[in-house]
Amino acid sequence: MARRTMNSNRYTIWKAHHPRRRRLGPLVSSVVGVAMGAALLSQVTVAQAPELGQGWLPEFNLAARQLVELADATPAEKFSWRPAAGVRSIGEVYVHVAVGNFWLLEQAGVKIPGGLSKVPEDPEKSITDKAEVIKWLQESLDAVRTSYPSADRQKKVQFLGQETTSDFVLLRVLVHNHEHMGQAIAYARMNGIVPPWSTASAE
């Protein structure tokens, strides 16, 4: 019974952090397929990026730079675009990444000024202006970048009902940013927006 309760609580916490995981039909399946292809394409086009294969922080810096570049290249009027009802919009994806960065840092036991306490209520709905979205995204990326080198990565922490290390939770930061960058690339391509690094690689 105790194990069943623990698993139930773990699911509740994860569901709260990822509230939009649901069955959404063929259109969303297509978006996922496009995201996978777009992510693969981006890996090919940035084959010469110096950060590749150089460790956690360089890989994070590459993803962070590309996320901000793509958000900046997206017209403000496109930030409310979504591929289907019940799916995050372009702007909501970036805000989700930002909030996720702050949340995961706290889960990893990293103390940052303000942290989640400074995030407004229902951020995906209250932070909609392009400039504000990018500001929050950049602040969250900077928080990760500056706190990672000094973090006690071998510290034992509780994450989603299980004991792990801060290092493994910080790995989820890297994975989470790449996961949603693939989504953002797919959204951009569906709107005729070319990732800036793809354009630079083609020149």
Within 8 A by CB and 6+ apart from 54, the residues are none
Between the alpha carbon of residue 131 and those of residues 12, 27, 71, 178, the distances in Å are 32, 29, 10, 22
**pLDDT score, position 14:** 47
**pLDDT score, position 32:** 52
* Structural domains in the chain, sorted by start: 27-202 (1.20.120.450)
Q: What is the Cα 197 distance to its own chain's centre? A: 18
pLDDT under 70: residue ranges of the chain: 1-47, 200-203
**pLDDT score, position 94:** 98
pLDDT digits (tens, 9 = 90+) for 133-142: 999 999 999 9
**pLDDT score, position 115:** 74
Torsion sign across C-alpha atoms 55, 60, 63, 69: negative
pLDDT digits (tens, 9 = 90+) for 13-24: 444 555 554 445
Whether residue 193 contacts residue 74, with contact meaning beta carbons closer than 8 Å, is answered with yes
**pLDDT score, position 37:** 58
**pLDDT score, position 116:** 81
Cβ neighbourhood burial of 2 (10 Å; 0-12, 13-18, 19+): exposed
